[in-house]
Structure 1
């Protein structure tokens, strides 16, 4: 076997010992001092690396927090008016008392009935509000799933289609059981009820998914498939496959209160302008080819 290399100072001590000019304690303590200096040097290097990681992580979370605050803070006049309408609807429902009309009623009301009630109330004050249900197939990255939310579509003065998503339980969609303090601080900045354009929602999703990925990396854990960016986007920003000769067109059916049924346009047997795929032509939104959207 090859011998371990011996440092020059230590070799000199051995030579002196063999010549009789150094004792055994000089060799032992000399070697210990040299080893100690080497260990301290290594510890200092590790400490510097740790400090760099800490500063890098701190800078990341501060940047994400500022970016999220700026994204949520920007709001158009249409979004502002719609938010107020949603707020008033929730307050009226709370005062009237939530009632569940499902086959198996839930005490205090359920989210499904809440969405229906808000949709009808928004329609009554002139908003083109519908209940949407997105569906997407499984892939190598994410599992299949579906999600239900509210959507309001409006045309701007320039003729552009404005699509606004209303999510009644937005904050809970990003909560994680074993999240870090920094990630939870971001989640707490999210509104409980989200009312915003798809462009704004897309930016928020990107920020939160990057934060979730960073959080799991710091904890040395794998991020769950349903926490990934692609999965979260599919919930609100997915599209449905454009109808062809081989497929049946999807008809968007709005939720209509009988008292206001005569005011609603009759559905046509063609794909509605509310479909996500047509948004690509108006707002430049990218739509997936495998997801499907229904409006109940």
Structure 2
């Protein structure tokens, strides 16, 4: 084959003199060479089975880690709730006795609900606990807004026990509809199963309550991350803590007397008006 001569190109520039550069001659590619290059190209973009297997393994690992997380949370929650002391058991027994008696009896307040309202339940439970010798009161927690959580307030029952000087003051919280505090509409199945482990009415020491809040707040954050939902400030751990921690002695009040012991409010209407009263009696006037 004859040698192909080198081709020179010249570029004319207005700023400087002529410049030359050398271009190598074109390569004579045979059909075999072209197909060989194409084969290498397709081999380079062909899917690697090892990468596919690696991706599937990553997904399996994530699912396994998620299952392990929910299993640990379930075990921690169960062990935290099942633990109890004699003080908690006594308070829980009185609370359940009052709740069982109120079921289906209606509300004692003037609003006449079909079932006992939260306000009347708290008053009845608090009254029975005080009759049993416990320092029970209705608590109202209030907190101001901050960059992390909005302001709010919450009402619940607590019992303060100072019977053991060695242990110091022990505070037991009674929260009705405790399970509803953590429910969400679009929760995954793992979170729903965790919610079902919670008691409807919580009776426990403040330390036990804080342990439950830590477990549930972590579960709430995990659930919303898996569901790709925004976590509202009212579901944050600090907001849940504020409900039962932002209290003082000034916010504790004893229950009012029962409705049967209250003096009835005088009611007057035109239907019950006594027309024989002296101030309302008028002589009959004959119309001509």
Which range, TM-score by smaller chain?
A: 0.7 to 0.9
- Which residue of the other structure, out of 44, 57, 66, is the alignment partner of 2:53? 44
Offset of residue 256 of structure 1: 4.6
- Which residue of the other structure, out of 18, 25, 29, is the alignment partner of 1:18? 29
Query: Is structure 2 residue 128 aligned with structure 1 residue 117?
Result: no
- Please give the TM-score of this superposition, normalised by the length of structure 2: 0.74
Corresponding residue for residue 149 of structure 1: 156
Query: Is structure 2 residue 193 aligned with structure 1 residue 185?
Result: yes
Moved over 4 A (4+): 26-30
Partners of 2:74 and 2:251 lie apart in 1 by: 40
Matches within 5 A, 1:21-32: 21=32, 24=35, 28=38, 31-32=41-42
Residues 189-239 of structure 1: per-residue CA shift (max 9 Å, x gap): 000010000000000000000110011111222211100000000111224
How many residue pairs get aligned? The number is 233
Residues 4-51 of structure 1: per-residue CA shift (max 9 Å, x gap): xxxxxxxxxxx9x92343564x6555533442244x343233222212
Mark the CA change 1:111 to 1:256 in structure 2 (over 3 Å): closer, same or farther: closer
**Long gaps (5+) in structure 1:** 1-14, 241-248, 262-296
Corresponding residue for residue 230 of structure 1: 238
Mark the CA change 1:199 to 1:48 in structure 2 (over 3 Å): closer, same or farther: same
Corresponding residue for residue 281 of structure 1: none
- Please give the TM-score of this superposition, normalised by the length of structure 1: 0.72
Residues 76-130 of structure 1: per-residue CA shift (max 9 Å, x gap): 11111111111111112226x122414x432223111111111112222222211
Answer 1 or 2: which has greater helix percent. Answer: 1
Mark the CA change 1:20 to 1:36 in structure 2 (over 3 Å): closer, same or farther: closer
Question: Between Structure 1 and Structure 2, whose CA radius of gyration is higher?
Answer: 2
**Long gaps (5+) in structure 2:** 1-26, 262-288
Mark the CA change 1:250 to 1:37 in structure 2 (over 3 Å): closer, same or farther: closer
Mark the CA change 1:19 to 1:213 in structure 2 (over 3 Å): closer, same or farther: same
- Which residue of the other structure, out of 173, 178, 183, is the alignment partner of 1:175? 183
Matches within 5 A, 1:1-296: 18-21=29-32, 24=35, 28=38, 31-38=41-48, 40-94=49-103, 97-102=105-110, 104-159=111-166, 160-240=168-248, 250=250, 252-257=252-257
Partners of 1:227 and 1:251 lie apart in 2 by: 24
Residues 124-172 of structure 1: per-residue CA shift (max 9 Å, x gap): 2222211111111111111111111111111232351111000111001
Partners of 2:31 and 2:103 lie apart in 1 by: 96
SS in 2 for 1:130: strand
Partners of 1:28 and 1:81 lie apart in 2 by: 83
Corresponding residue for residue 272 of structure 2: none
